[in-house]
Amino acid sequence: MEPSEELLDVAIVGSGPAGLAAAARAARRGMRHLLLEKTDHLADTIFRYQKGKHVMATPPQLLLRCDLAFEAGARETVLARWAEDAAAAGIAVRHHAEVTEISGTRGDFTLGLADGTRIRAAHVVLAIGTQGNPNLLKIPGVGAPGAPVVQYTLDDPAAFVDEHIVVVGSGDAGIENALGLAADPAQGNHVTLLNRSADFAKAKDANVKALMAARDAGRIAVLTETAPNRLEAGHMVVDTRDGEARLRCDRVIARLGSAPPRAFVEKAGVAFTSAAREAFPLLSPQFETSVPGLHVIGALAGYPLIKHCLNQGHDVIEFIAGNTDLRPADEPILERVFAGLQPARPVDDWIAFLRARVSIFRPVSPLQMRELLLDATVRRYAAGEVVFVKNDVGASLFAIAEGAVEVEIDPGPPRRTATIGEGSIVGEVGLISGRRRGATVRAATPAILVELPRTAALRLIGTVPDAGAEVDRITTTRLLLQIFQSGLVAEDLAPILETARTVTARAGEAIVTEGETGDDMFVIRRGSCTVEKRIGGRPVFLRYLPAGSYFGEMAVLDGTPRTATVRAAIRSELIRLDGAAFRRLFEARPELRARTLAEMAARRALNAFIEERKDRFGSAVDLYSETAAFLVENGLGEATDALLIDERLCVGCDNCEKACADSHDGLSRLDREAGRTFAYLHVPTSCRHCEHPHCMTDCPPDAIRRGPDGEVSINDSCIGCGNCVRHCPYGVIRMDSPPPRKPGLLSWLLLGRGPGPGEPPKAWAKAERARLRTEAPPKKAVKCDMCAGKAGGPACVRACPTGAAIRVSPETFLALAGRRD
């Protein structure tokens, strides 16, 4: 088809909150516009929330400015209101219009739709969110008449009866679909699951177990190392290890994951901030990408909250229409961030000031700076004022925009301090390891410091690679100065730091192997490692190294073979420093080497000790090693504080769960029974307060924070999206709404009123609500908060009558592994 004659002022792709707001603004402004939406309804992401979901309007301090009304309420209400407002604004929308191609530049874009239509526009606004498209099954015969139906989603497994169904895909989605289809034998479905590889590495353990059980029970046929080849009438032909096979097949459910929209966006010429998975398109303050005239807004631009999306839809059209006076909606918030600084200056000036002064901000674009500073604290410190105190829990990062700070290395006497100057950062150790502050820091002169909360700092490192590299450079230098104290100065290290490379290691991968030669040194940047040594032919667990630790420094000094094997306990990132560069340094300064060797003598003593005793190690050491390995495997390696149950003492009274529920809105955050056990140590389903909490990965309102006691907790701004549930590898978060208040303990004890201590049964909560005529509050994410702020500490431990329930940090769990009966 020929490109349509008409040249639109603006084409808007995607009708989520961002695109819809943009279309409404364009319509109100009388611009020639068209909103292109791939589905047959508006705002597909929100359309697909579960029925009746309570949509939340956060952050509360952000003013809404757009042509659509939005306030917190049920999904249906929100969608209906938008449909009304959009119609009132007079937007032009085209459904079933999936954009597959964008080419051109400002003034002359051509958009290709899946059905072959072409649309021309002077400007394009991309607002397609981050859902992406399901990967398609690309084999001959798909869509041919008579061939099996191919579908990419499964809404209702109960809808199919007496069919031969082949599920393709070995992830959780595929397995869950297959189990759903086979759950009720009365449906009479013949379900087959195809897996290209031999194992199910991508899926959750629980799912794999359920699948294997279903296979053993003959309810699902599981074909591994098998791939679809082609579809024929009523059949699928598959490639197995031993050649082709024909399967009866009426329907194919393909769950091959979905491709993030990045590839599509990049094809239009848009540059991203980095290759990292967290990266976003590179944007100007007007949301313009590296392609002039092509704008990106909404979740795709890195703003997942509906309010942000709506505002950006409004703003982007204003910018395109040439309104240069529009102040960003976040201006008042940023003004408040800088309010404490005198003399008063416009926000843009302060941002320019920070970017000029601080090395990690230099590579950050002004738009990203605004986003970063929304959560930041910027203030002046008087000389001598304390910034943070040793052993405080805090994981924020401080940047020194003016003046200098003093780190107290030794409170003395004699007191030893180190000065960190303007433009640098401090507090990075807590950021990396998620642990307590290692030293007290004070302002050395009058200073201006920017405090970035941990999540904002991590986002900065993840999305602006040069800023990340700068943080790495600073932390590694400091670490090396600390290790090789002997009169080394930062300049000596420059050639070594040149060689720094970041390497990633899979869980269980050996980074250095005992007995091998190799003289590189490693610093653990993320994750953690275990150290083991072969004694009497068996690996013995020696030590656990959390993020921020280093290893391999002995080989650097004397070139001896590795004395132990170091493995990644979880997927880890390490900084590798080249041994040759160290050797050159030590050759040039032999006295440095001699002194360093002397200082490290103590560290070697332990290895020598173990060598000497190796014949005396017996089964006790085996048990110790196995227990330690078990705990690491169960996530204790990345924990900062986890609940363990000593099964030699646990009487199964569940008082721990009851205490948890009764001290937290009636919902228990721990499941004592679930979880694995080894050598009488039970790891229940309960939050480990990970060093790097996976749950924080993708929380739209940033509701998950690390608190003052090191606890990872979820605050009230949770919007109930369930992302954290999917990201936590330990299954400790659940979505639930608190039950109504129970009658007091005495009226239960004496009069038998109410359900008694602990989480009330769902049926009681329902009946009670009916009695009180109240609605259940919206479901939110619920997890352990380590009883932060409660005098006496975690209720689970306090409520255990026998001492079976204990909370441990990695430093102590190894002691536990070594315990004797």
Ligand X SMILES: Cc1cc2nc3c(=O)[nH]c(=O)nc-3n(C[C@H](O)[C@H](O)[C@H](O)COP(=O)(O)OP(=O)(O)OC[C@H]3O[C@@H](n4cnc5c(N)ncnc54)[C@H](O)[C@@H]3O)c2cc1C
210 burial level (CB within 10 Å; 0-12, 13-18, 19+): middle
Q: For residue 491, give every residue at least 6 positions away whose Cβ sits within 8 Å of its Cβ, in sequence order, or none.
A: none
Nearer to ligand SF4, 197 or 802 (CB): 802
Q: How far is the CB of 118 from ligand X (least distance, A)?
A: 14
Helix (H) or strand (E) holding 7: strand 7-13
Which listed residue (650, 690, 695, 719) binds other proteins by CB under 8 A?
650
Q: How far is the CB of 651 from ligand HEM (least distance, A)?
A: 6
Residue choice 121, 467, 545, 782 for contact with other proteins (CB under 8 A):
545
Binding-site partner at residue 75 among ligand X, ligand SF4, ligand HEM, none, CB < 5 to 8 Å by type:
none
Range in contact with other proteins (rule: CB under 8 A) among 96-104, 259-267, 292-300, 789-797: 789-797
664 lies in the binding site for ligand SF4 (CB under 6 A): no
- Give which of ligand X, ligand HEM, ligand SF4, none residue 424 binds (C-beta under 5 to 8 Å, depending on kind): none
Instruction: Work out whether 418 is an interface residue with ligand HEM (CB under 6 A).
Output: no
* Pairwise CA distance, residues 494 & 489, whole Å: 10
- The nearest distance, CB 659 to ligand SF4, in angstroms, is 8
Q: What share of the chain is helix, strand, coil (3-state, %, to 5)?
A: 35, 25, 45
**3-class state of residue 361 by DSSP:** helix
Which of other proteins, ligand HEM, ligand X, none is residue 391 near (CB under 5 to 8 Å by kind)? other proteins
Burial class (CB in 10 A: 0-12, 13-18, 19+), 506: exposed
Give whichever of 278 and 647 is closer to other proteins, judged by the CB atom: 647
Stretch that binds ligand X, among 37-45, 351-359, 588-596, 625-633 (CB under 6 A): 37-45
Which amino acid, one-letter code, is at 121?
A: A
In angstroms, rounded to a whole number, what is the distance separating the alpha carbons of residues 702 and 305?
Answer: 10
Residue whose pair of structure tokens reads 């129970």 in the numeric block: 742
Which member of 145, 537, 618, 792 binds other proteins (CB under 8 A)?
792
For 243, 654, 668, 673, the CA distances from 651, given in Å and listed in that order, are 55, 8, 19, 12
Closest listed residue to residue 67, CA positions, set 110, 26, 21: 21
Kind and range of the H or E run holding 669: none
Give the number of residues in contact with ligand HEM, rule: CB under 6 A: 2
From the list ligand SF4, other proteins, ligand X, none, pick the one residue 673 interacts with, judged by a Cβ distance below 5 to 8 Å according to partner type: other proteins
Q: If binding is defined by CB under 6 A, does position 700 make contact with ligand X?
A: yes
Tell me the H-state helices in 65-107. 75-89
Among 7, 27, 5, 3, CA closest to 15: 27
* Interaction of residue 695 with ligand SF4, rule CB under 6 A: yes
Question: Between 370 and 689, whose beta carbon lies closer to ligand SF4?
Answer: 689
Q: Quick one: 52 or 801, whose CB is closer to ligand HEM? A: 801
Helices 490-498 and 465-483, axial angle in degrees (round to 10): 130
Of 430, 539, 693, 757, the one binding ligand SF4 (CB under 6 A) is 693
- Does residue 580 come out as left (phi exceeding 0), alpha (psi in the -120 to 50 range) or beta? alpha
| 793 touches, from other proteins, ligand SF4, ligand X, none (C-beta below 5 to 8 Å by class) | other proteins
Residue numbers 577-636 binding other proteins by CB under 8 A: 603, 607
- The DSSP H or E segment spanning 5 is none
Rank residues 172 and 646 by Cβ distance to other proteins and give the closer one: 646
Near ligand SF4 by CB under 6 A: residue from 54, 251, 442, 672? 672
E strand segments, 362-457: 377-381, 386-388, 397-402, 405-410, 416-420, 425-426, 440-443, 447-452
Closest CA to 383 of 398, 401, 397, 403: 403
Binding mask 208-237 for other proteins (x = CB under 8 A): -----x--xxxx------------------
Residues 48-107 binding other proteins (CB under 8 A) are none
Shortest distance in whole angstroms from residue 636 CB to other proteins: 12
Q: How far is the CB of 753 from ligand HEM (least distance, A)?
A: 18
Torsion of CA 795, 798, 804, 807, to 10 degrees: 60
For residues 646-665, which are near ligand HEM according to CB under 6 A?
Answer: 653
Site residues for ligand HEM, window 789-808 (CB under 6 A)? 801
Rounded CA-CA distance 314/366 in Å is 20
Would you say the C-alpha torsion 38, 42, 45, 50 has a positive or negative sign?
Answer: negative
- In the complex with ligand X, the residue whose CB is nearer, 130 or 627, is 130
What ranges in 574-722 are assigned the alpha helix state H? 579-588, 590-599, 601-613, 619-633, 655-662
Tell me whether residue 99 or residue 203 sits nearer to ligand X (CB atom).
Answer: 99
Contact 787, 689 (CB under 8 A): no
Q: Binding to ligand X (CB under 6 A): which residues in 69-128?
A: 98-99, 127-128
Instruction: Give me the least distance between CB of 655 and ligand HEM, in Å please.
Output: 7
State which of positions 504-533 bind other proteins (CB under 8 A). Answer: 531
The answer to whether 126 and 265 are in contact (CB under 8 A) is yes
CB of 764 to other proteins, least distance (A): 17
The residue written with tokens 């050996």 in the block is 510
| Cα(610)–Cα(617) distance, integer angstroms | 9
C-alpha torsion 332→338→340→344, nearest 10: -90
Kindly determine how many residues on this chain lie close enough to bind other proteins according to the rule CB under 8 A: 86
819 binds, among other proteins, ligand X, ligand HEM, none (CB under 5 to 8 A by kind): other proteins
> Which 229-248 positions form the footprint of ligand HEM (CB under 6 A)?
none
Displacement of CA 369 from its chain's centroid (Å): 21
Strands 149-151 and 251-254: parallel
We find the least distance from the C-beta atom of residue 739 to ligand HEM, in angstroms, to be: 23
The reply on whether position 436 binds other proteins by CB under 8 A is: yes
Residue number, 370 or 525, with CB nearest to other proteins: 525
Closest CA to 15 of 30, 2, 7, 26: 26
Cα distance between residue 213 and residue 207, in whole Å: 10
Closest separation between CB of residue 215 and ligand SF4, Å? 29
- The token pair that represents 334 in the structure block: 């940023």
The CA-based dihedral angle spanning residues 25, 27, 32, 33, taken in that order and rounded to the nearest 10 degrees: 70
> Which of 157, 548 has the CB closer to other proteins?
548
Do residues 313 and 420 touch, judged by C-beta distance below 8 A? no
**Among 17, 13, 22, residue whose Cα is nearest residue 94:** 13
CB of 484 to other proteins, least distance (A): 11
Rounded to the nearest whole angstrom, what is the least distance from the CB of residue 563 to ligand SF4 in the complex?
A: 32
Residue 673 has what DSSP assignment? Answer: E
Q: How far is the CB of 260 from ligand X (least distance, A)?
A: 11
Structure tokens at 337: 């961030």
Q: How far is the CB of 802 from ligand HEM (least distance, A)?
A: 7
Site for ligand SF4 in 197-256 (CB under 6 A): none
Stretch of 87-95, 172-180, 647-655, 695-703 lying at the interface with other proteins (CB under 8 A)? 647-655
15 binds, among ligand HEM, ligand X, ligand SF4, none (CB under 5 to 8 A by kind): ligand X
* 394 contact choice in ligand X, ligand HEM, ligand SF4, none (CB below 5 to 8 Å, kind-dependent): none
> Which residues form the interface with ligand HEM (CB under 6 A)?
653, 801
> Which residues form the interface with ligand SF4 (CB under 6 A)?
645, 650-656, 672, 687-690, 693-695, 712, 728, 730, 732-733, 783, 799-800, 802, 804-805
> Which residues form the interface with ligand X (CB under 6 A)?
13-19, 36-39, 43-46, 49, 55-56, 58, 98-99, 127-129, 131, 298-300, 304-306, 309, 700, 719, 721-722
